[in-house]
């Protein structure tokens, strides 16, 4: 299962999105779609950070609870969280109760607001690292990299801007998830044809 595989419905997908129903829905409807918007991207930055050391399926299952706990990932609201909010989050069994990751999410919300004040804003900053033109989808899983020069540069700049839990691997996962790169395997029905890869 190194290349795209057919699911129960006969549709060819990336192997990770061909079995579990929740992963399949995420693969088919979200992963790799172009995503813009401050809070939408802040949510993805936050969830990718929480995923560190865990499976993405764990995060998907907890995403409704994460959204409720973090005010829909409204950066202005989260930036104002205090110790009472931290205590509330640490007691919330619906999310990943990791103090460092919770603190990082609150700090990252404040960093998002600073980006808006100082420019260029989270959306523009993240997308400035998207390669042009986007590379062709990999043929097999062997061609999917954990980091790239672009994700390394993104992580470095985010850390310089005060973000936490944003290493090169997390940054690349973010780029994959939000359509900055297309890493659906070439045989997957969601892979973007080469003629349209430049369109964002």
Q: Is 48 noted as a catalytic residue in this protein?
A: yes
Answer whether 126's CB lies under 8 Å from 42's CB: no
Q: Which of 16, 31, 43, 48 is catalytic?
A: 48
Catalytic hit among 30, 56, 116, 139 = 56
26 belongs to the catalytic site: yes
User: Catalytic one among 26, 43, 127, 183?
Assistant: 26
Burial class (CB in 10 A: 0-12, 13-18, 19+), 188: buried
Q: Which residues contact 13 (CB under 8 A, 6 or more apart)?
A: 4, 5, 6, 7, 24, 27, 28, 188, 189, 190
Active site residues: 26, 48, 56
């Amino acid at each position: 299962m190194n290349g795209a595989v057919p699911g129960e419905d006969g549709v060819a997908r990336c192997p990770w999105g061909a079995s579990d129903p929740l992963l399949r829905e995420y693969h088919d409807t979200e992963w790799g779609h172009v995503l813009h918007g401050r809070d939408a991207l802040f949510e993805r930055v936050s969830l990718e950070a929480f995923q560190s050391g865990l499976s993405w399926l764990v995060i998907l299952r907890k995403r409704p609870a994460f959204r409720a706990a973090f005010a829909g990932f409204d950066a202005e609201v989260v930036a104002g969280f205090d110790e009472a909010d931290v205590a509330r989050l640490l007691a919330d069994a619906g999310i990943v109760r990791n103090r460092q990751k919770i603190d990082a999410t609150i700090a990252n919300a404040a960093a998002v607001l600073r980006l808006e004040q100082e420019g260029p804003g989270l959306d523009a900053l993240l997308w400035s690292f998207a390669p042009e033109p986007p590379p062709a989808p990999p043929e097999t899983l062997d061609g999917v990299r954990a980091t790239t020069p672009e994700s390394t540069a993104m992580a470095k700049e985010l850390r310089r801007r005060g973000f936490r839990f944003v290493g090169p691997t997390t940054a690349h996962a973010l780029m994959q998830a939000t359509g900055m790169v297309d890493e659906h395997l070439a045989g997957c029905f969601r892979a973007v044809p080469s003629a349209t890869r430049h369109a964002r």
